[in-house]
Amino acid sequence: MDTKSQYRNPLILALVVIVVYVAARLVFGFAYLGMQNIEERLDNYHFSAFAQKLTATDNIVATTQRLPKVVSLSLHGEDAKRVVQAVCAGKADRRRYSNLWEQKVVFFEGTNRLGEILLDGGLFMADGRQYRDISYRPNANEGSGILNDLIYIPLVNMEFKAQGL
């Protein structure tokens, strides 16, 4: 059998194409996962400088502007420390969600503004990068995460009251 007739056999050609396709998917699939891991590590590295600034926080003001009227919540003392700890322990999250980011949380030391995040439940945005509250448990019976319990849910409840619901 000559070389030309081997490659003309449709079964062999189909097998070669399938093997090449599967090999390419494996190689590029692992490369994508590796890139995602590198991007999350870079996000966590950038976040560490932001988190370091927040450690001096003594006052937190959270606002939402879904209504024509601004609804706000202020946290001090132990609650503020717990929120700062939750934010500082946050981990990069590169998954895509349909978040609204309607709650803004601003961190202060006295009157000095240290930084801000945008919040939606257990996820938050800092410096244009998305992170997750590692204490967040979406289906938990008791407590569903520090940011969710101390900021997100109270602000949502305040919005409902402001709307008369």
| pLDDT value of position 115 | 93
Which domain CATH number covers 60? 3.30.1490
- Domain-embedded: residue 45: no
Q: What is the maximum alpha-carbon separation in the chain? A: 86
| pLDDT value of position 8 | 63
Q: Domains in the chain: how many in total?
A: 1
Task: Tell me the C-alpha distance between 101 and 104, whole Å.
Answer: 8
- Domain-embedded: residue 139: yes
- Domain-embedded: residue 10: no
| pLDDT value of position 104 | 93
Q: What is the mean pLDDT of each run of 10 residues along the chain (165 residues)?
A: 58 78 65 60 79 92 80 93 91 76 91 93 86 78 79 89 77
Q: pTM of the entire structure?
A: 0.71
How much helix, strand and coil, in percent to the nearest 5, is found in the chain?
50, 25, 30
| pLDDT value of position 110 | 92
Task: Tell me the C-alpha distance between 105 and 107, whole Å.
Answer: 7
| pLDDT value of position 67 | 65
| pLDDT value of position 140 | 60
Helices 77-88 and 10-54: crossing angle in degrees, nearest 10, is 150
- Domain-embedded: residue 46: no
- Domain-embedded: residue 126: yes
Tokens of 35: 């890139």
71-76, strands of its sheet edge to edge: 71-76, 59-64, 103-109, 112-120, 123-126, 129-132, 91-92
Domain housing 116: 51-163
- Domain-embedded: residue 27: no
Task: Tell me the C-alpha distance between 133 and 140, whole Å.
Answer: 14
- Domain-embedded: residue 35: no
- Domain-embedded: residue 130: yes
Whether 104 and 61 have beta carbons less than 8 Å apart is answered as no
